[in-house]
Structure 1
Amino acid sequence: MERRTFLRGAVVGGSVAAFGGSLWHGVASAAPAQPGAGPYGALRSADANGILLPAGFSSRVVARSGQNVSGTSYKWHSAPDGGACFADGSGWIYVSNSEVSPSGGAGAVRFSSTGAITGAYRILSSTRNNCAGGATPWNTWLSCEEVDRGYVYETDPWGVKAAVRRDAMGRFKHEAAAADPVRQVVYLTEDVSDGCFYRFRPTTWGDLSSGTLEVARMGSGTSGTVTWAVVPDPSGATATRNQVSGAKRFNGGEGCYYADDTCWFTTKGDNRVWQYNAVTQALELAYDDSLVTGGGAPLTGVDNVTGASSGDLYVAEDGGSMEICLITPDDVVAPFLRISGQSSSEITGPAFSPDGRRLYFSSQRGTSGSSSGGITYEVTGPFRA
């Protein structure tokens, strides 16, 4: 069964709805994705922004670290990282983390219905190494600290309400979060070489102030049935990953994305994209660069991930060829874009505007290779529905 079945109708970016539709009952595991021709064709020569794109697509620079966002007095933050889009009337907001310490946090850019920038502002301050995160169905942004015993902060994309630290979601080296409104849990990844895959079950859905942190358990293989065990002490006085016997280990958890009963997440240490079927509680590989046949792997350094309503997954590279690659519903992996001249950077924060017509992302260290050289981009073009 094709992945498009599961992502069709998903709201891309900030809001995640509860979806019906077909499930994976009784479907055999498919082989991980293999290289092939992408749906948009070959990449053209680099444009004026140094980005190689397929025909029909164009890019623009939205913001640069240390410089005022166009038309505003807000200086864009250093080391832009994880991001998401939120509907804002007829326009939208793109939020972006800042992966620096001690003054990380997150900022936001507001757009009109035409894509014009109408504002920019801070939504979280005085936190550390805010790497990835995730949007909630109630339109907040979970900003995750990638430090030992780091926290999750729930923030307001509009910058009106004060950010709130969500201690119950556990203290560990947080990376990304993805909300599952059907099972009413939030999936969480951990960026260490022997990290775990978690889910947080709030006492009341929509309120993250209390609840239960659970860790995935499974055999040593790359596919199988997952069970969930309660983490006794989410405060992390003893590392959360070491509290439950048999917890499944993952080599450097990175991006995390949920749509229609499936959670995809990446592990950078072994260049894998995993897919967790929340209905059958089965885990398997969607991509593994060591299993690519017939030549070099097009996707390495897997990191942040997002999805489109077409069923395509967009996976950003940390290193590699500085590409965002897509994995199609029929399990073909191919480059969608490449950033040239920025080999000392990484691509972060891919997220689609609510209408799916614009893709936002950042080069965390830009051409300088420094956190102060970050660049945030927008790509527009004929994205397939």
Structure 2
Amino acid sequence: MPLNRRTFLRATAVAGGTTAFSGAVWQHAFAAGPAQPGPGPYGAPLAADANGLQLPKGFTGRVVARSLQRVEGTRYTWHPAPDGGACFADGDGWIYVSNSEVPLVGGVSAVRFDASGKVVSAYRILNGTTLNCAGGATPWGTWLSCEEHDYGLVYETDPRGERSATPRPAMGRFKHEAAGADPVRKVVYLTEDQPDGCFYRFRPQTWGDLSAGTLEVLVGSGTGPVSWARVPNPQIWTTPTRQQVAGAMRFNGGEGCYYTGGVCYFTTKGDNRVWAYGASAERLDLAYDDDLVTGGEPPLRGVDNVTGASSGDLYIAEDGGNMEINLITPDGVVAPFLRVVGHDGSEITGPAFSPDGTRLYFSSQRGKSGFAAGTDGYTFEVTGPFRH
């Protein structure tokens, strides 16, 4: 962005025109305004390994799956353009689910690991949908897969593949991106990937049942106190949901969404921001803004999917940039955690931790070729001494 805008934003932040992200307000908050560059808790990424992963000391990586190739040890062919994902505990092992961001056949695949981390099966849990981008896990153990087009739906899926996937039209028809479930307030937050998109929450009539409820949109004028207003026609509309409520806040390309400890974090790619919605105070703040970085070049560009560790660290994947996953610590330091080399035309998607927090999964959507159809996608696993 232009230097004059960055200078203006810095000045207003210092003067109080942009609300600082106060660490005293809620759990996992940052100490003194939007995160700033600094040394990460694991040190800098080292030289690339055989898979093109630059990882910190003590960490190792492997390729779990390749698009249009059989997942090792199974007869299942992994999907193209892997995107949003999440992990679910399953017996003595766990399951990683991954969306496919392609038209018409999109859907979701899953891969199951045993207690040692060995792949034991892979299978399909959603078929025949289009441009399944990101989504989110629910507290009752389902995966919400979101379609990214103007009439897109949220589909509730079973990571084990034992129950049929179900569309949830009450959650609205719009260009869905990601979802984050808040079990305290019993709502699901939703992002919208439009240059003038909105931030929503869905209040189901019965918690645990997403078949009926109320869709609301965030209303406000910027950081600070905000409120919610009902979207009149979330399912069948001639006026898009984002244009139905006067005063609805605009967000430039909503992407990842992750709820933890009373805060819903979400990202906007058009202005490289990580937002923090404090649910109990109904307050919006900035956790990161590349225009507010004061010490050198911003390390985090092209913000996209986001997840968190039990330590309170946020992990934010880059769409483009230099193909990094950056972390933001609870004390407000942003630093690269890993980098993928040789995938310059791709983006990092689907970061998610195994239930025990020792393994991080993610994908390079278009792989080394950068081909838009995502036929060269890679899904990785990183193992190491993640802090808790």
- Structure-2-length-normalised TM-score: 0.92
User: Counterparts of 1:3 and 1:360 in 2: how far apart (Å)?
Assistant: 32
- Name the structure 1 match of 2:381: 378
Closer, same or farther: CA 2–246 of 1 in aligned 2, 3 Å: closer
The answer to whether the Cα contact below 8 Å between 1:3 and 1:330 also exists between their aligned partners in 2 is no
Give the match for residue 157 of structure 1. Answer: 159
> Does the CA contact (< 8 Å) of 2:67 and 2:79 recur in 1?
yes
The residue aligned with 1:49 is: 51
**Stretches of structure 1 lacking an aligned partner (at least 5 in a row):** 8-23
Q: Which runs of 4+ in 1 moved over 2 A?
A: 1-7
Distance 1:3 1:60 in 2: 39
Q: Which residue of 2 aligns with 1:337?
A: 338
Change (3 A) 1:102 1:277: same
- The one-letter amino acid paired with 2:369 is S
Q: What's the counterpart of residue 17 of structure 2?
A: none
Shift, 1:365, TM fit: 0.4
Contact 2:36–2:332 (8 Å) recurs in 1: yes
Once the two structures are superposed, what CA deviation does each residue of 1:310-340 show, in whole Å capped at 9, x if it has no partner?
Answer: 0100000000010000000100000000000
8 A contact 1:271–1:300 mirrored in 2: yes
Task: Select which of 205, 218, 226 maps to 2:207.
Answer: 205
The aligned residue for residue 231 of structure 2 is 231
Find the counterpart in structure 1 of residue 256 from structure 2.
255
Displacement after TM superposition at 1:3 (Å): 8.8
**Contact 1:172–1:236 (CA under 8 A) maintained in structure 2:** no
Answer yes or no: is the 8 Å Cα contact 1:52–1:339 preserved in 2. yes
Mapped partners of 2:355, 2:27: distance in 1: 18
- 1:346 matched to 2:367? The reply is no
Structure-1 separation of matches of 2:104 and 2:370:
20
Residue 303 (str. 1) matches residue 304 (str. 2): yes
Paired with 2:265 and 2:297, the residues of 1 have a C-alpha distance of 23
TM-superposed deviation, 1:91: 0.5
Counterpart CA distance in 2 for 1:228 and 1:4 is 20
Contact 2:31 2:330 in 1 (8 A): no
What amino acid does structure 2 have at the position aligned with 1:279?
Answer: S
CA distance in 2, matches of 1:41, 1:294: 18
CA distance in 2, matches of 1:366, 1:314: 20
Alignment of 1:144-293 (within 5 A): 144-219=146-221, 221=222, 223-237=223-237, 238-293=239-294
> SS where residue 170 of structure 2 aligns?
helix
- Residue 11 of structure 2 corresponds to none
Q: Count matched residues.
A: 364
Q: Give the deviation of 1:4 after TM superposition.
A: 12
Cα–Cα, structure 1 residues 270 and 208, in superposed 2: closer, same or farther, change >3 Å?
Answer: same
Flag structure 2 segments of 5+ consecutive residues without an equivalent: 1-21
Match of 2:106 among 96, 101, 104: 104
Shift of 1:5: 7.5
Instruction: Report what 2:69 is aligned to.
Output: 67
- State the Cα distance separating 1:352 from its structure 2 match: 0.1
Structure 2 residue matching 1:6: 3-state secondary structure: coil
Could you tell me how far apart the structure 1 residues matched to 2:32 and 2:92 are?
40
| Per-residue deviation, 1:6 | 2.7
Letter in 1 for 2:235: S
RMSD of aligned alpha carbons: 1.4
> 1:368 offset after TM fit, Å?
1.0
Measured after TM superposition, the shift of residue 378 of structure 1 is 0.1
SS of 2:61's partner is strand
What is the CA-CA distance between 1:2 and the residue it aligns to?
4.6
Using the alignment, how far apart are the partners of 2:288 and 2:128 within structure 1? Answer: 37
Q: CA deviation at 1:294?
A: 2.2
Looking at structure 1, the residues matched to 261 and 338 of structure 2 have their Cα atoms a distance apart, in angstroms, of 26
Q: Distance in 1 between matches of 2:345 and 2:260?
A: 32
